[in-house]
Amino acid sequence: MKKILIVDDEENIRELYRDELTELGYKVELAEDGLQALEKVESFRPDLVTLDVMMPGMDGIEVLRRIRQKHPAIPVLLLTAFGEFKQDFNTWASEAYIVKSADVRELKETVRRLLGK
């Protein structure tokens, strides 16, 4: 079973994504901030990380940088409510980038594509 770590400071988003991805057959863990995400990357060893860009404290770009340093093979899917981050060259280090939406079809399709399922 493929494992996904969902990192988002908004509880409702974490819960929605967990429910939707669990329904697809993935094992899902949640993290509410960057520090918790880095700890869970080490303990949970996810096959994919979904990562919110805008979080208090350590933002998603910094979390992505730190994941890349230690685990360059883990695919990271960046998520944000703001489309302008597509212009930020730091987001190019992720495998995919989508704008958050209550419609989770793009999320599910992207996760399937990245995990080959």
State how far the alpha carbon of 59 is from the alpha carbons of 4, 39, 52, 55, 101, in Å: 19, 15, 8, 5, 20
Q: Return the CATH superfamily for domain 3-115.
A: Response regulator (3.40.50.2300)
Q: What is the pLDDT of residue 80?
A: 79
Q: What is the pLDDT of residue 81?
A: 76
Write down the H helix ranges in 1-116. Answer: 11-23, 34-44, 60-70, 105-115
CB contact at 8 A, 93 and 68? yes
pLDDT, tens digit only, all 117 positions of the chain: 999 999 999 999 999 999 999 999 999 999 999 999 999 999 999 999 999 988 999 999 899 999 999 999 999 998 877 655 555 545 455 667 778 877 899 999 999 999 986
Domain boundaries along the sequence of the chain: 3-115
Q: What is the pLDDT of residue 99?
A: 80
Q: Output the six-digit token pair for 74.
A: 């883990």
State how far the alpha carbon of 107 is from the alpha carbons of 71, 98, 114, in Å: 22, 7, 11
Q: What is the pLDDT of residue 92?
A: 52
